[in-house]
Amino acid sequence: MHKFVIGFALAFVIRFITGLMVDGGWLREPSMTALQRAPFTFVLPIALATITMLIIHRRTPRRLLDPRVKRPFSQLALGLAAGVGAAMLTVAVGHVFTLLVVKALLIGLLAVGVTSIAIGVLPRCRSYACVHCGSVIPEHESACPGCGAAESRGLDVNSVAA
């Protein structure tokens, strides 16, 4: 899961760095220094995206976010795609609205929304399916018949929420 957050954070850090070249940053607040803009431009969206991801994964586990699945590039790419999407949308917020409170609220909402969509399209973990390939694992077998992975049965939603 941390690879998703790294990808998401990378997009917002790049957005923040490029905003240093724009007068007032992407928030369009010329009276604020770069350090004053930092909480709004990358700390807030990254924190809210992480919390959103954890809540969604806790309520409905996703195969890609299972710690047994070794797909670091897929997790990083998904986080980066969600981060770029949210970062591009939040740049528009700085141009449309003038109140800083409204900008911060919309930046947070966009980060939550884009993360929810990105995580929501992932296939869910099923207690009867392999977390690696999604094949159905018969009750009496311990290894996946599709990919051969041992102990790859999906997590039960009730066991994750407990």
Residue matched to tokens 């296939």: 123
Residue type, 54: L
Q: For residues 141 and 31, what is the distance between their CA atoms, to the nearest angstrom?
A: 64
pLDDT for 38 equals 85
Domain ranges of the chain: 2-124, 127-162
pLDDT for 157 equals 52
Q: For residues 99 and 29, what is the distance between their CA atoms, to the nearest angstrom?
A: 10
Q: Report the chain (162 residues): mean pLDDT per 10 consecutive residues.
A: 90 87 75 84 91 90 78 86 91 82 91 92 79 80 80 62 45
Residue type, 67: P
Q: How far apart are the first and last CA of the chain?
A: 19
pLDDT for 93 equals 79
Between the alpha carbon of residue 37 and those of residues 56, 63, 70, 103, 123, the distances in Å are 29, 36, 36, 11, 36
Query: Could you give the dihedral angle defined by the CA atoms of residues 104, 106, 107 and 111, in that order, rounded to the nearest 10 degrees?
Result: 140
Contact 41, 26 (CB under 8 A): yes
pLDDT for 21 equals 82
Residue from 45, 36, 47 nearest 93 by CA: 45
Q: For residues 115 and 13, what is the distance between their CA atoms, to the nearest angstrom?
A: 16
Q: For residues 162 and 148, what is the distance between their CA atoms, to the nearest angstrom?
A: 29
